[in-house]
Structure 1
């Protein structure tokens, strides 16, 4: 299954979490989304959001400019 790529680079907290939540709400259960961010707080906020909302955080990668997350919708 291919992951939907979601480029949220350049957005500041809390927009990466809010936009990820909105996008996931329109996706089917089990769908994958790959989120790219440059907000330093996303490294804390996205994992916390996934835990709170019950999504599976499959991968977290520190990139040159921020973070990349692979999330499976609950």
Structure 2
């Protein structure tokens, strides 16, 4: 995966904290920026794709490695 413009490490946090942190982090990024999210809460497999769909961001890729969930999210272009 290509290098991210920013990283959000939400390891050890449980719902709803990872998505709340994601919302704040995305808000501070430029349009089109790529954010890598690291999480350990299995509920992020449901919550992060829904977050992206609802707000119009692109979920570029998601992976699971040994109980760690990785997501690459591209912030939507400004309208």
TM band (smaller chain): over 0.9
Across the aligned residues of Structure 1 and Structure 2, the Cα RMSD in angstroms comes to 1.1
What TM-score do the two structures reach when normalised by structure 2? 0.89
Partner of 1:59: 61
Question: Structure 1 stretches of 5 or more lacking a match?
Answer: none
Per the TM alignment, residue 32 of structure 1 is displaced from its structure 2 partner at its CA by 0.5
Partner of 2:75: 73
Per the TM alignment, residue 66 of structure 1 is displaced from its structure 2 partner at its CA by 2.6
Larger radius of gyration: 2
Q: Does 1:15 find its partner at 2:17?
A: yes
| Between 31-40 and 61-70, the greater mean CA deviation after superposition | 61-70
Number of residue pairs matched? Answer: 74
> 1:21-67 CA deviation, whole Å, 9 max, x = no partner?
10000110000000000001000000000000000000010121231
Off by >3 Å, runs of 4+ in structure 1? none
What TM-score do the two structures reach when normalised by structure 1? 0.94
Question: Structure 2 stretches of 5 or more lacking a match?
Answer: none
